[in-house]
Amino acid sequence: MKKISCSLLLLLFLFAIMAVGCGKIPSDKEPELTSKVGTQQSFDIKSEKEILNIRLQCTVECKRMEKPPIFTEKIFEDADEIKIFVKAINNSKKIEAELDYSTFFLMHITFKDDTEKVYVLNVNDAEGAVGLLVKKPGSSEGYYSIPEELHNELRTLIYY
């Protein structure tokens, strides 16, 4: 348990350093949800209107957290909830480093055309933290940082 807590603190510290280095994006208006992630490779996330649901699976590491969520698996079908996930994904920033991370959630996005995408989503119940999104579960390909503000919105959906 102590090893997990130390690893989690180190991961959060690394994200905090990266978030401070990236600065803030001016927010004159809310970004379009259908836009691609910056100039990096696309997540191929369509408009929230094309998504049927988002299913989060709490992994073994998730269940070992100090404050785990109250579910093992949860399906989000509400349009407003899906919109928050899409906004977090589309506004995530590519991390140009190798990370040693634990998987908290597997996020299954099911589209209305019956296709599914699976990502790693690390959102904890700590205020002021940033999230981690990994494009391919079990790989070192495609690490993305979810900004603090959007992490807090996801945190509210997942833990409260």
pTM of structure: 0.71
Higher pLDDT, 108 or 37: 108
Q: At 105, is the secondary structure helix, strand, or coil?
A: strand
Backbone region of residue 143 per phi and psi (left: phi > 0; alpha: psi in -120 to 50; beta: other values): beta
Task: Taking residues 61-80, report their average pLDDT.
Answer: 94
For residue 131, the cross-strand partners are 146
Residue 105: count of CB within 10 angstroms of its CB:
22
**pLDDT 10s digits, 81-91:** 999 999 999 99
The pLDDT score that the predictor gives to residue 54 is: 97
Is the pLDDT at 6 greater than 70? The verdict is no
Higher pLDDT, 37 or 104: 104
**pLDDT 10s digits, 45-54:** 757 788 999 9
Task: Taking residues 96-104, report their average pLDDT.
Answer: 90
Domain 2-21+48-159 has CATH 1.10.260: no
Higher pLDDT, 69 or 13: 69
